[in-house]
A and B are shown apart, each in its own frame.
Chain A
Amino acid sequence: MTDISYQDLAWPVREDITAAHRRTWERLGQPGTWLTGGERVAIAHEARAAMDCRLCRARKEALSPNAVQGSHDHGAHRAAQLSELEVEQIHRIRTDPGRLSRAWYEGLADGGMIEERYVETVGVIANVVAMDTFTHALGLDPWPLPEVRSGEPSRARPAAARRQMAWVPTLAPEDAIGTVDGELYAGRASAAHIYQAMSLVPDAVTGFFDLVVNQYLPPQAMRDFDNEYRAINHAQIELVAGRVSALNQCVY
């Protein structure tokens, strides 16, 4: 079992961050909604391997990623349960997110991509990126991936999910009220689009937002400009966030 601790680091890490990282790693190895624990850990491996992929590097340097064809490099870990289609998804999201397009997404769908697995995979990648970027930023090695836990995915799809604002189907807050998925929005009739983005797989939302509230800010703190909650202030937080998003060419 991976023992996540930042106690030996030269600088203090908030205990809530450490606790969130431990919970994230524990969840990563467990069966999810549409993916087994083995598949989730394989996706995490592949997300890391993408950083050394020659095809991804060539595409990143090309004027258009579609101009470069080839096969992705993977490490020795590659699990048979990941299809080439899923490997393409993982590598592109990890290495060149700013140039993902609806046509690319629809191409995956035409090739047999399963949207629920796609969304859960996005969540796994996001968790790994959030933690790996944190350790990288502080000069640490990435944490060893967690052990795989046995069990079957629940395969529970929100009945009211539908295609509306995004490429992927989402569960609108107003449609969730009174359903078994209502607690995702705590009964509210609206939510930021980023919170709705992975709502086809509610556990992917709640898992990732465990990191959001601890590495960034809880919702009630975001617009509370009378108080500061971190060692850097609101303006400094948004400056860092904005710089990272600009480098990633993220429109949202």
Chain B
Amino acid sequence: MVGDGAPSDGGIPNGARLIRFATAVLGDEPEELAAARDDIAAAMGGAALTDTAAVAALFNAIDRVADATGIPLEDVKAEATADFRAGIGIDDFAAASEKGHGA
């Protein structure tokens, strides 16, 4: 549900906590990862922690499938997301020119 979280959460409950954990999972600071993990477990519960870890891990893998095969974004998704992709900088990613919409 979007809209219930504090402003720092981006409008998503515990959003800042989840962003911190996802960032730490891909980072290389073990202490920060442990702290982010404990924070989620304490605030959201152990099941939320392991489900969050599962999603972060899966997308760390699925990104590689997309990037290594060179699939483009579907037309309908590209059109629906054009505004915010430009706005948040996705179009500036290194691969955007050859793997983005219409590549």
* Residues of A near any B CB (own CB < 8 A): 6, 9-14, 17, 93-94, 97-102, 105, 119, 122-123, 125-127, 129-134, 136-139, 165-168, 170, 192-194, 196-198, 208, 211-212, 214-216, 230-233, 235-237, 239-241, 243-252
A167 and B69 form a contact (CB under 8 A): yes
**Among the listed A10, A94, A197, which residue makes an inter-chain contact with B66, where contact means beta carbons less than 8 Å apart?**
A197
Question: A105's closest neighbor in chain B, by CB?
Answer: B70
A239 and B10 form a contact (CB under 8 A): yes
Q: Is B6 an interface residue (CB 8 A)?
A: no
**Among the listed B64, B70, B74, B99, which residue makes an inter-chain contact with A129, where contact means beta carbons less than 8 Å apart?**
B64
Q: Which B residues touch A247, using CB under 8 A?
A: 22-23, 26
**Complex: how many Å from CA A248 to CA B95?**
11
B19 and A239 form a contact (CB under 8 A): yes
Q: Which B residues touch A130, using CB under 8 A?
A: 57-58, 60-62
Q: Which of B67-85 contact A (CB under 8 A)?
A: 67-74
Give the number of chain B interface residues (Cβ < 8 Å).
57
**Per DSSP, are chain A's interface residues mostly helix, strand or loop, or mixed?**
helix
Given A17-B54, A133-B61, A192-B74, A244–B48 Cβ distance below 8 Å? no
**Among the listed B18, B37, B65, B96, which residue makes an inter-chain contact with A232, where contact means beta carbons less than 8 Å apart?**
B18
Q: Which A residues touch B57, using CB under 8 A?
A: 129-134, 136-137, 215
B58 and A211 form a contact (CB under 8 A): yes
**Complex: how many Å from CA A53 to CA B45?**
36
**Among the listed B54, B65, B93, which residue makes an inter-chain contact with A251, where contact means beta carbons less than 8 Å apart?**
B93
Q: Which A residues touch B19, using CB under 8 A?
A: 239-240, 243
B51 and A231 form a contact (CB under 8 A): yes
Q: Which A residues touch B51, using CB under 8 A?
A: 14, 230-232, 237
